[in-house]
Chain A
């Protein structure tokens, strides 16, 4: 898949949560082909201490309106600067990067999409894709509290959504792996993106139920192109670049203790 470096234009800015910004970017030309689970690297201007690009997963691609959605958590100086972007300003983007989630395996397959924190972002695009391809995606989203659940209307417009919150303010109380849907239903496969402890516990559930499971990693990276070998993850085939061979891996290819 061809990669590009482009100056995209900020078309919309919104703040679904005090710690997040949702940027919708557009271009004069149709946006290039991307796969769900791929990511972009954005250049942060006007932030002297932000030297490297910031990897951000693709949240959604609206082909009709030619918009690329990036849901960004404000963590450090760079991402805070991105949250200051205004409509009409430009953002330099290298994309699409990485392998993305698995393509649809068969019509009617039931795919559990688990997201936690900012890890919910790529699941929106993947869920839409699976639905379009005739699969049956189901979302399982985890958050600290009701207010931390993001883009719920969009998720619900695509597929059934199950929720856990740590304080019980929405859905079932606890972590995603404690949700009753996991004991009541079975799935053909699972995709998960979120904090590592969450991904490990989902991987454990997958192993117990003999369900294929892929995880999306976010190791710190520099080039995004597989050149610098900084973002490596240990796999059964040795160290590989999360930016190029990943970010999505079959959990059986990793060396995690599950």
Chain B
């Protein structure tokens, strides 16, 4: 039995597997399939200062080895979260992390400040990389100045662990990672979805309501591993890797590339119990390879 404990800045996780935002609801939706407390962390769905209706249907289309979505951050707002959702999830004994999004610096900061006040939320994941909302979201995440300014604004009001989720839709993800590190981020998570498009050739129209959406699933895994590998060489803060992880072996690639933890997203739709299976599989892989601890392999790529 290998030691699967890992640390992301201020938080300690019993194992390195987290459920990715937007794919696991508030965790409760999956309670019939997994013991939520066996998951290292659960990142609940994107929360914004004000309620958002999201984009029109259709919001999803299947692709080869993946899917596109353009949900557009549908959520009931941070006040609803604090009043109605938080009491339901605060006693789940794992790291319950809230993904925070916004369209202005003030929105981001105000939303983060409200969540700062919730005792049992040890961290937020700041989403500066959603490709599916106009003004904001990804606009901050695609320039070093934008990324720096939003992280700086949130850092001033948020004193717990601040993880910043990065977009792969950029020229140099390493530059963005350095900028958010300089602005005070405790960790980075990557990658958010890759922007894509599917066309209905009979109708000669895009399938999705806003034409484009974010690509996820195994189709993006190799891009994600490359990004983690590049960012690991650029920053000294911990990295949470995600993008197309379906199996423990997929996760091991991310650890070798430099991730201290991983998130599982789209795979939850295929197997609602995949999170705990991957955690078990990581343990088995480490045992088979004579590793006593997960930390033995983080960033341990042969030169």
Contacts and interface: CB of A to CB of B under 8 A. Distances in A.
Contact of A233 (B30, B45, B57): B57
B23 A51 contact: no
Nearest to B57: A232
A48 B218 CA distance: 12
B29 A51 contact: no
Given A43-B270, A221-B60, A223-B269, 11 more contacts: A3-B32, A51-B64, A52-B62, A53-B269, A222-B266, A225-B25, A225-B29, A227-B23, A228-B60, A230-B71, A233-B57
7 contacts: A51-B270, A219-B58, A224-B269, A226-B29, A227-B45, A228-B269, A244-B29
B29 A227 contact: yes
B58 A220 contact: yes
Contacts of B273: 5
Interface class of chain A by DSSP: loop
A235 B280 CA distance: 41
A222 B57 CA distance: 13
Contacts, number: 94
B63 interface: yes
Q: Which of under 10, 10 to 19, 20 to 34, or 35 or more describes the interface residues of B?
A: 35 or more
Chain B CB within 10 Å, residue with most, of A4, A5, A220, A225? A225
Interface in A201-249: 219-234, 238-239, 244
B22 A228 contact: yes
Nearest to A240: B74
Contacts of B29: 223, 225-227, 244
Interface in B163-215: none
B15 interface: no
Contacts of B268: 223, 227
B263 to A, nearest CB: 14
Interface string B243-274: 00000000000000000000000101111110
Contacts of A51: 62-67, 217-218, 270
Counting chain B CB atoms within 10 Å of each CB, which of A52, A219, A220, A228 scores highest? A228
A28 interface: no
Interface string A52-65: 11000000000000
Interface string B10-25: 0000000000001111
A239 B269 CA distance: 20
Contact of B30 (A2, A227, A238): A227
Contact of B74 (A48, A219, A224, A229): A229
A42 to B, nearest CB: 11
Interface of A: 2-5, 43, 48-53, 94, 219-234, 238-239, 244
Contacts of B266: 222
B201 to A, nearest CB: 15
B61 interface: yes
A100 B22 CA distance: 25
B69 A228 contact: yes
Contact of A53 (B74, B217, B270): B270
A204 B229 CA distance: 59
Contacts of B67: 51-52, 222
B33 interface: yes
B53 interface: yes
B267 to A, nearest CB: 10
Leading 10 A-B pairs by shortest Cβ distance: A230-B60, A227-B25, A3-B32, A223-B269, A225-B29, A222-B269, A230-B59, A227-B29, A229-B71, A229-B74
Contacts of A229: 22, 45, 54, 59, 71, 74
- Of the listed residues A49, A226, A230, A232, the one surrounded by the most CB atoms of chain B closer than 10 A to its CB is A230
Contact of B60 (A49, A220, A225): A220
Contact of B270 (A52, A227, A231): A52
A50 B66 CA distance: 9
Contacts of A50: 62
B88 to A, nearest CB: 14
A236 B99 CA distance: 27
A244 B29 CA distance: 10
Contacts of B57: 219, 231-234, 239
Contacts of A52: 62, 67, 269-270
B62 A2 contact: no
B127 to A, nearest CB: 15
Contacts of B53: 238-239
A34 to B, nearest CB: 14
A134 B173 CA distance: 65
